[in-house]
Structure 1
Amino acid sequence: MLTLPTALRAAFKEPFGPVYAEADDLLADASSEDADAPLVAVGDVVTFHLRRAGRPPDVAVVDGKTKREAVGEEIRRAVETGRLVEVENEPGTVSVALVEALVAALDDPDPTTLLVEGEEDLATLPAVLAAPVGSTVVYGQPDEGMVRVAVTDAAKSEMRDLLARFDGDFDAVVAPIDA
């Protein structure tokens, strides 16, 4: 497991890509790059908005919360659809189990929702690492909107560098991605 050190928290204040208020605008930009590439959503509200806009994510990572509070029933019902896989990931961490589940979900041709027991807030980093170049990872920026990360070699390098600065066994956590 990797744990976010307090000194690194500031690195997560600024979004890793453009911020969108509307899912339709985000999807238009994402599909102009590679319409067939996987779409990964991190967060219940983001997943809800993408599904409501008519583009369910290929992989959704949800924990039943938004801003540390339980999501409403409408959102919970909308995001907990399709193939559901439960995974544990403690708050402020990235677990090997989460990374393994992301890799498996991206390899599965059917849409998959990872139901995280704990917290999915940091799942964007391993999602970018695990997704193929050309994919899109979307996560929520509290009180701002949805952030679209285009998966490029540079984005993968940035996420790998950030994860390497976490406390814990970096090699063990990224092993499922590097396999």
Structure 2
Amino acid sequence: MQSNEFEDLKNNPQFMLELGQKEEAAVKAKDIVGMYEVLDTAVMLDLSAERLDRIYTEILQTVFDRLADKLTKEQFFDINDQRDLYTMRGIYEHGIERYSDNDFKGAKEIFLILHHTANDETLSKAMMPHIAAAASQMKFDDFIDELVDVENPNDSETYGFFLTNFKPSVEGFMKEKAEALESALKELETLKSEK
């Protein structure tokens, strides 16, 4: 879509009314996929920060409710289930947000949760460099510049929301940070045994 097409949609009262109704219905139903569809549309239309924040807050609340439910039932997220995929997207985005705000401990814990709850080897494995980087307090920008293969992102429908492709330098980094990673994984084991 061209930017003028977005502007036309933004100025179309019928479209905006329908978007509002879709948002209301998705929030009421705790429909994580529907809420993300509204958020992604709102971002493309460059709607107000207040509106984006309101939708994102609802997403996070739903995501962490679903996470609590999975943990209580000792279930994994199934990446092939759209609701689970979008729930993991929400958890991951929150982890990235924390990481970029230099909340290394919070980010590490969120990446550990994803590593543990994702019933998917690619995603679970991709969390390891995230955990090691946050645990060793590597700045987010350095993590992206030094480790993430931004030239070859994983654009698949399944993994497009996550950083899963890394540069060859990640191997040396993981060896160098093995102690920090092991310590973080032990924290997870401790938490699991306390349940």
**TM-score, with structure 2 as normaliser:** 0.27
Higher gyration radius (CA):
2
Q: Which has the higher helix share?
A: 2
The structure with higher relative contact order (CA 8 Å, sep 6+) is 1
